[in-house]
Amino acid sequence: MKTIRDVMTPDPVSVAPDCGLEEAIHLLIENEISGVPVVDADGGIVGVLTEADLLKTYQVPEARTVADLMTRDPITFDIDADLVEIVDCVMSNGFRRVLVREQGRLAGLVSRADLMPAVLDLLLERHSSPA
């Protein structure tokens, strides 16, 4: 069975809380991603910034930095957690991605797309097993 280490995107693009919103949007566009982890100077996870958060710019005109709009204290998973826990979290909360930590620092992220090879393996295993 695949583990978080097997499916995660290691060392994802990330931003600091004091990053300007324009720069953060450019990162999303250039990297063709819909969200980005927010980390402190030590690599600790302090938030996540998504396209949905950035749409709040219309409602919060005074917002200038990532910290102004990010979702604080996002749900994270330890790199050694069971992959099923991430699937359950994504399914129950409608998340597009979850952040993975190792020793308190950002290690990677798991998106829905990252989970597809594990889902395929599961289906193939089920179909090859005798009923």
Tokens of 17: 């809380």
Which stretches does DSSP call E strand in the chain?
Answer: 9-10, 35-39, 45-50, 71-72, 76-78, 97-102, 105-111
In the chain, what is the straight-line distance between the N-terminal and C-terminal CA atoms, in Å?
Answer: 19
Which stretches does DSSP call E strand in 5-54?
Answer: 9-10, 35-39, 45-50
Domain parsing of the chain, residue ranges: 4-128
- What is 4-128's CATH topology? CBS-domain (3.10.580)
Asked whether 61 and 68 are in contact (CB, 8 A), the reply is: no
Read off the pTM: 0.89
- Could you read off the pLDDT of 1-51 as tens digits, one per residue? 678 998 999 999 999 999 999 999 999 999 999 999 999 999 999 999 999
3-state secondary structure of 120: helix
